[in-house]
C-alpha cells in the first residue's frame, strides 16, 4: 500500500507576516485563515494546502501524505506498527484542525513528523482565486508538489519511504559542487509526478532544502519570476530529470521555493537512470543563501 500524494505541508516560521506577504503577493496563493501566530493558504479546490505557524526556528514542521481511503490508512498504520514504529492514532482534535476525516502521525527516521491521512476537505463552492492572477497550480492526482528532504543517512531514509510509504525511485543525480565534492540526490515518486520527494545529505541544518509548486502555464512561471526578482537564487532553467522549467527563490525562512511548469509524468514503464547534471540548460546559481 502506497501513499497517493503529498497533500499538505506545514512550516514553523519566525515571521508569519513575511510568509503571508510572500505566499500571497509573490507566489500567488490565497490566504484563507490568519491570526498573529498562524496562517493557512490554498491553491486549488482543497480547503488548505500550506500552513505556517510561529516558532523559534524556521523549518518544515510536518508533511501530510494522502492515502486513497480509510482502509488504506488502516493498512499503512498496521504496517508501521508491526515494524515497530511509534504511531499516534485517534487524535481527533488534530484531524479536525487539518480538516481531514482521519489521520495518523509518525516520524520519519530523522524526526520529520509525517501525517498520513484520508478524507481531506474539498471546497468547490469557494473557487480558488489567485491574488496575483496565477491561472492555476497543477495538483490533482499529482498532489501539492515536492520537497527535498535533507538527512544524515540516505539509505535509512530511502528504506523508510520506499518500504513503508510505498515510494518508488525515479532516478538519481550526482551533483558536482566542486572537483572533489559530489552530492547524490535521490528522486522518488508515489504518483505520476516525477518526484514528490527527493532525499539528499546537504551541509545545512534544515529538514528541507526546498519545496516546489507547479503552475499551469509557462507564463505563470514567467510572471512569478518577475514578481520574485529580488528573491531569485537560481535562474530559469530546465531540469535534466523531470524536465521541469523552473526557477528558485529564497523564502522568508532562508530555504528555497521552486516555481515550475511542464514536469514530465512517470508511468509503469519508467526506467531508473542517473544523471551527472541537474539541468539541461539554465538554472544559474546567482545568489548564495545563508
In terms of CB distance, is 76 or 212 closer to Fe ion? 212
At closest approach, how far in Å is the CB of 260 from Fe ion? Answer: 7
- Tell me the C-alpha distance between 111 and 100, whole Å: 23
Query: Smallest gap, in angstroms, from Cβ of residue 231 to Fe ion?
Result: 16
CB 29 within 8 A of CB 43: yes
Contact 86, 107 (CB under 8 A): yes
Give CA–CA dist 105/117, Å, rounded: 9
Question: Smaller CB distance to Fe ion: residue 120 or 143?
Answer: 143
Residues forming the site for Fe ion (CB under 5 A): 212, 258
Q: Are 33 and 48 in contact (CB under 8 A)?
A: yes
Please report how close the Cβ of residue 119 comes to Fe ion at its closest, in angstroms: 28
Give 4 or 246: the residue with its C-beta nearer to Fe ion: 246
As measured in angstroms, the least distance from the Cβ of 239 to Fe ion is 7
In terms of Cα–Cα distance, which of 261, 50, 48 is closest to 135?
A: 261
Q: Please, what is the minimum distance in Å from the beta carbon of residue 155 to Fe ion?
A: 22
Give the neighbor-by-neighbor strand order of the sheet with 208-214: 273-275, 168-176, 182-189, 197-200, 146-150, 208-214, 256-261, 245-250, 232-239, 279-282
| Helix/strand/coil for 157 | helix
Distance CA 189, CA 198 (A): 9
- Of the pair 72, 244, the CB lying nearest Fe ion is at 244
Name the residue nearer to Fe ion (CB basis): 39 or 173.
173
Beta carbon nearer to Fe ion, 30 or 258: 258
Q: How far is the CB of 75 from Fe ion (least distance, A)?
A: 30
Amino acid at each position: 500500500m502506497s501513499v497517493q500524494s503529498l497533500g499538505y505541508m506545514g512550516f514553523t516560521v519566525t515571521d508569519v507576516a513575511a510568509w503571508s506577504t510572500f505566499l500571497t503577493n509573490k507566489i500567488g496563493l490565497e490566504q484563507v485563515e490568519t491570526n498573529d501566530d498562524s496562517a493557512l493558504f490554498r491553491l486549488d479546490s482543497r480547503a488548505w494546502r500550506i500552513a505556517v505557524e510561529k516558532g523559534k526556528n524556521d523549518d518544515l514542521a510536518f508533511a501530510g501524505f494522502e492515502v486513497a481511503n480509510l482502509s488504506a490508512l488502516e493498512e499503512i498504520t498496521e504496517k508501521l506498527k508491526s515494524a515497530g514504529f511509534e504511531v499516534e492514532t485517534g487524535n481527533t482534535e488534530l484531524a479536525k484542525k487539518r480538516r481531514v476525516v482521519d489521520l495518523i502521525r509518525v516520524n520519519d527516521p530523522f524526526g520529520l513528523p509525517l501525517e498520513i491521512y484520508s478524507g481531506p476537505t474539498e471546497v468547490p463552492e469557494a473557487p480558488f482565486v489567485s491574488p496575483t492572477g496565477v491561472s492555476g497550480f497543477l495538483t490533482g492526482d499529482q498532489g501539492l508538489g515536492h520537497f527535498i528532504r535533507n538527512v544524515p543517512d540516505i539509505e535509512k531514509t530511502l528504506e523508510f519511504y520506499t518500504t513503508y510509504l510505498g515510494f518508488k525511485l525515479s532516478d538519481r543525480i550526482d551533483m558536482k559542487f566542486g572537483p572533489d565534492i559530489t552530492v547524490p540526490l535521490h528522486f522518488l515518486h508515489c504518483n505520476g509526478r516525477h518526484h514528490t520527494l527527493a532525499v539528499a545529505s546537504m551541509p545545512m541544518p534544515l529538514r528541507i532544502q526546498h519545496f516546489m509548486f507547479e503552475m499551469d502555464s509557462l507564463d505563470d512561471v514567467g510572471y512569478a519570476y518577475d514578481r520574485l526578482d529580488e528573491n531569485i537564487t537560481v535562474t530559469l532553467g530546465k531540469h535534466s530529470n523531470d524536465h521541469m522549467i523552473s526557477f528558485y527563490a529564497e523564502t522568508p525562512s532562508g530555504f528555497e521555493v521552486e516555481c515550475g511548469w511542464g514536469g514530465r509524468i512517470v508511468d509503469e514503464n519508467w526506467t531508473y537512470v542517473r544523471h551527472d547534471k541537474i539541468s539541461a540548460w539554465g538554472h544559474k546559481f546567482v545568489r548564495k543563501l545563508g
